[in-house]
Structure 1
């Protein structure tokens, strides 16, 4: 029985989401689990700010929101 007028799904074990952006299928491999429907952050130690403009990290930190002299 095939779906009529709809996008056909894959048949088998690796069934994917339909009409949505496809996330990783299967087991989450260690820390590499990603957020769904949100902007993906970097995974690891150097985690960055989310939804904000990323400033320089470390000694070269600049003034934020002001013109740098």
Structure 2
């Protein structure tokens, strides 16, 4: 589900790159949640339980998906 994640501590922005859905930015995320995501046995489960639908997010406007049906 998750390919990678990065965190900007100064801006409190969590960036998550999903395998099928592109990259999203999550705003006002505490750094301890990023640390927990990195240490979790399942990043997907941690994301769904602790981050998803709890923080404002935006899709990365620079990310484009190319699919056969596009």
Q: TM-score, normalized by length of structure 1?
A: 0.19
Larger Rg: 1
Higher relative contact order (CA 8 A, sep 6+): 2
